[in-house]
Amino acid sequence: MKKIFYLVMLATIFAVGCSNDGDGDVQRKRYLCNFEDDRHAGGDTENPGTVQYSWWKDLVDTQQYGGELLYSGKGYAWYDVRTDLYSKLPDKWQTGTFDGGGIAISNYIVTSLEATYEQQLTISEKSLNGAANTNFAVCYVASNDVPPFIEFKYTTGIIEFIYVVNTSYTLNVVKNGNSFAPKMGDDQYIKIVATGIDKNGNVTNSLSYKLFDGPYPKSWKRWDLSALGVVKRVEFRMYEGRYINGIETDSEAEYPTYPMYFAFDNIQVLR
């Protein structure tokens, strides 16, 4: 009887020792999604036929606005085998197009700051830290009610960090204004909010990052998301606002003044 009790105690201790992230007896490994073509974008063997592309470059639309991939109405999705990360259009307007926001793969990089909505998938700089070697992702937040997301398709995991930067279109409007928006003032900001959702649909945590603090853009920066914890999904929302008496105050307007886009790359996960 004592022997049986001892074995049960050992088994219990072993199980507790393996559970290091609050998601059961999970031993996680580290993986990187950098959207480059040395890493296969497909091969979804657990659900054949749901991923139609073999290479990341095949997910880059030949026309940034109105292109066949993002605006055909057939939907748009991507899946990374190594990280198990997946995304599809949130489809706010039930059109199956990028009009409702989403996360698109891009390789459009220019130095000009004259980008308009027709260059919505463009960034203005490569990164010295390895982000945006060729391909990267552009997140368009058309609605905070139905936000773009990345999720672990079959598992759960920890998103340790991503690298983020502004897009050329947003940068142009913030710095120069256009017919819809004035140049951004020193007391204004645009921020991204990442919200973790666990496998039961509960919010784990939310983290924010200032993409613009006044009209001053930030270059590629590593954004630590590990405090979101073990997640099934991470949703991205964007807010503009201003400092009132030194206090950050998000706008309550139904529609934002500035284009709600950002680019990201080099997603490191534990799964």
Of 38-47, 85-94, 190-199, 259-268, least confident by mean pLDDT is 38-47
pLDDT on residue 19: 37
Res. 50 pLDDT band, cuts 50 70 90: low
pLDDT on residue 113: 72
Res. 11 pLDDT band, cuts 50 70 90: very low
Helix (H, G, I), strand (E, B) or coil at 138: strand
Res. 120 pLDDT band, cuts 50 70 90: very high
Cβ-based neighbour number of residue 251 at 10 Å: 15
Query: Is 134:77 a contact under the CB 8 Å cutoff?
Result: no
Mean pLDDT of 56-73: 95
User: What are 108's strand-pairing partners?
Assistant: 122
pLDDT on residue 88: 96
Report domain extents, the chain. 31-270
Residue 226's nearest CA partner among 18, 21, 79, 33 is 21
Res. 254 pLDDT band, cuts 50 70 90: confident
Class level of CATH domain 31-270? mainly beta
Strands 108-109 and 122-123: parallel
For the cut 70, the answer to whether the pLDDT of residue 40 exceeds it is: no
pLDDT on residue 4: 40
Mean of the per-residue pLDDT values of the chain: 86
Cβ-based neighbour number of residue 210 at 10 Å: 14
Helix (H, G, I), strand (E, B) or coil at 184: coil
The Cα–Cα gap between 2 and 23 comes to: 31
Residue 250's nearest CA partner among 210, 223, 195, 206 is 210
- DSSP annotation of 50: S
Mean pLDDT of 180-209: 97
Handedness of CA 184, 161, 163, 108 (dihedral sign): negative
